[in-house]
Structure 1
């Protein structure tokens, strides 16, 4: 069964439109120490948005580096 609160939150995020660069960087910084939240961030395309935000703003390098380390750590073979 789907959690109705999670569905409502997801719909609210969709209705709000894409996050701005500052929001993406702030979220990346906030979630990088929480494995489940970080996984949701990655699954939602957050790393790609973070990379673009870093390119445009020049901020968020530490968060992007953390997610890149996570990606490398998860590679097998």
Structure 2
């Protein structure tokens, strides 16, 4: 897994790449309180201004953008 973080003015972009990931775009789930997982993309969806998925020969990546605050 690789994580890249870049700041562009007041925007912070985070990209997480996993070489073993699926070619299918991830889906936001609504986990129940006793589920052990399934909250990562849900949190990204709730907190980020925008996010997306891309797949290429190196694997799949999820990226998201946040507004930086001082």
Give the TM-score normalised by the residue count of structure 2.
Answer: 0.25
The structure that is helix-richer by fraction is: 1
The structure that is strand-richer by fraction is: 2
